[in-house]
């Protein structure tokens, strides 16, 4: 590829927008061509507006860009959306209508029947919804969403197990990092030395998005997986990294050894494996008794691998395990970028 694809980042000043800028810096396929934010920031230099909170310096090129209004689509072939929920609902259709493929981390369209909700290793074939979406909505571009940060790690672990054993029933109780709420997000008075056993709308997202992700694409539509999912979602004082305790029952009985072997042996399809953001192993199995832990295992696969530990029998369903995924990389900005890479590899966006 001699030339990189110019891309826009919608909602570039927030925490996910900043992470996109960091991860896209020196990306082999993409080049940031435009940064958008609310009208209040439009016209100002990005470096003068952003409260940069990444631990690496703000790239000079991004710092020097003039912020554009999210509301004015510019026709870039790819637009990465880090918009908040309401803005995404308003703005993403404008860009899709104007010809951009919008890869989005936002939630408004995730459960629309004609919108692919995609994790490349899990369900790249759901991109098959795009022609329906375009036809139905009259768009020349389109919207492709990645799931909620909590769902992503869970679905990555369930996917290879579902293929082999059939996921039937599922409990998940989460311990989620504060970065999942953005900035300022969770007030420190609410979480230092504390646990908050509630995240608005999160349990519903986990339950519904998981079924869609594990669903089958056929005849131009997704048939949701019939798994019954019960989620408990909690916030804990961790900066990055969602830990999830899971009990799962399968249609075909599975032993802990089979589950461990299936997860450790899982490799993505070659097209997916060749995407720049795809890790060598989507799921790593750690045999140590007290792992995974956010502080130690967060950066596995440059934040794109999920780590699983404590695979053991469940007295109630069949298997218990713990998983950890990086909520702002694999669960947000990295997921969006990987979806964009998939669109290029699939020829939906041309180089």
Residue nearer to a copy of itself on the CB measure, 69 or 173: 173
**Alpha-carbon distance 60 to 310, whole Å?**
44
Residue with tokens 């109630």: 316
Instruction: Give yes or no for residue 315 binding a copy of itself (CB under 8 A).
Output: yes
Instruction: Give yes or no for residue 204 binding a copy of itself (CB under 8 A).
Output: no
Instruction: Give yes or no for residue 179 binding a copy of itself (CB under 8 A).
Output: yes
Instruction: Give yes or no for residue 60 binding a copy of itself (CB under 8 A).
Output: no
Residue nearer to a copy of itself on the CB measure, 175 or 343: 175
Residue nearer to a copy of itself on the CB measure, 190 or 269: 190
Residue nearer to a copy of itself on the CB measure, 149 or 178: 178
Residue among 320, 325, 336, 339 that touches a copy of itself (CB under 8 A): 320
CB of 314 to a copy of itself, least distance (A): 5
How large is the C-alpha radius of gyration of the chain?
19
Token output for 305: 């691998």
Residue among 53, 163, 302, 351 that touches a copy of itself (CB under 8 A): 53
Residue nearer to a copy of itself on the CB measure, 66 or 290: 290
Asked if residues 9 and 59 have their Cβ atoms less than 8 Å apart, the reply is no
Q: Is 350 exposed, middle or buried (0-12, 13-18, 19+ CB in 10 A)?
A: exposed
Instruction: Give yes or no for residue 303 binding a copy of itself (CB under 8 A).
Output: no
* Catalytic positions: 149, 242
Instruction: Give yes or no for residue 316 binding a copy of itself (CB under 8 A).
Output: yes
Instruction: Give yes or no for residue 55 binding a copy of itself (CB under 8 A).
Output: yes
Instruction: Give yes or no for residue 151 binding a copy of itself (CB under 8 A).
Output: no
Asked if residues 146 and 103 have their Cβ atoms less than 8 Å apart, the reply is yes
Instruction: Give yes or no for residue 178 binding a copy of itself (CB under 8 A).
Output: yes
Asked if residues 68 and 34 have their Cβ atoms less than 8 Å apart, the reply is yes
Q: Which of residues 241-270 bind a copy of itself (CB under 8 A)?
A: 241, 243, 245, 247
Instruction: Give yes or no for residue 207 binding a copy of itself (CB under 8 A).
Output: yes
Residue 68's nearest CA partner among 92, 44, 94 is 44
Residue 37's nearest CA partner among 78, 82, 102 is 82
Beta strand 67-69 with 30-37 is parallel
Residue nearer to a copy of itself on the CB measure, 2 or 56: 56
Query: If phi over 0 gives left and psi between -120 and 50 gives alpha, with beta otherwise, what is residue 349?
Result: beta
Cα 138 from chain centroid?
26
DSSP letter string, 59-82: PHHHHHSBEEETTS----SEEEE-
Instruction: Give yes or no for residue 209 binding a copy of itself (CB under 8 A).
Output: no
Query: If phi over 0 gives left and psi between -120 and 50 gives alpha, with beta otherwise, what is residue 72?
Result: beta
With CB under 8 A, what is the number of residues at the site for a copy of itself? 60
Binding site for a copy of itself (CB under 8 A): 15, 53, 55-56, 169-171, 173, 175, 178-179, 183-198, 207, 228-230, 232, 234, 236-239, 241, 243, 245, 247, 289-299, 309-310, 314-317, 320, 322
């Amino acid at each position: 590829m001699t030339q990189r694809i110019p891309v826009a980042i919608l909602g570039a000043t927030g925490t996910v927008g900043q992470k996109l800028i960091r991860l896209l810096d020196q990306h082999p396929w993409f080049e940031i061509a435009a940064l958008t934010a609310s009208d209040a920031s439009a016209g100002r230099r990005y470096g003068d507006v952003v409260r940069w909170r990444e631990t690496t310096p703000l790239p000079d090129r991004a710092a020097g860009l003039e912020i554009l209004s999210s509301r004015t689509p510019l026709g870039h072939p790819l637009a990465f959306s880090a918009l908040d929920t309401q803005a995404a609902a308003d703005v993403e259709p404008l860009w899709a209508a104007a010809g951009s493929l919008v890869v989005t981390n936002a939630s408004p369209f995730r459960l629309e029947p004609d919108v692919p909700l995609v994790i490349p290793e899990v369900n790249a074939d759901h991109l098959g919804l795009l022609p329906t979406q375009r036809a139905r909505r009259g768009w020349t571009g389109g919207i492709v969403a990645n799931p909620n940060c909590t769902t992503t790690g869970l679905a990555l672990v369930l996917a290879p197990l579902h293929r082999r054993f059939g996921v039937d029933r599922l409990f998940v109780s989460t311990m989620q990092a504060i970065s999942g709420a953005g900035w300022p997000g969770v007030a420190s008075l609410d979480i230092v030395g504390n646990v908050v056993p509630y995240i608005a709308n999160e349990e519903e997202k986990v339950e519904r998005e998981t079924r869609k992700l594990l669903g089958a694409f056929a005849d131009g539509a997704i048939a949701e997986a019939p798994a019954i999912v019960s989620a408990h979602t909690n916030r804990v004082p961790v900066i990055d990294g969602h830990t999830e305790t899971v009990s799962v029952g399968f249609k075909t009985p599975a032993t802990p050894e089979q589950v461990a072997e299936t997860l450790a042996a899982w490799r993505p399809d070659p097209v997916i494996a060749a995407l720049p953001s795809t890790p060598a192993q989507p799921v790593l199995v750690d045999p140590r008794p007290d792992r995974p832990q956010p502080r130690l295992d967060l950066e596995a696969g440059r934040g794109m691998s999920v780590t699983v530990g404590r695979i053991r029998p469940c007295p109630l369903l069949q298997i218990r395990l713990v998983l950890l995924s990086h909520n702002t990389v694999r669960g947000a900005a990295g997921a969006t970028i990987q979806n964009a890479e998939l669109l290029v590899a699939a020829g939906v966006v041309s180089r």
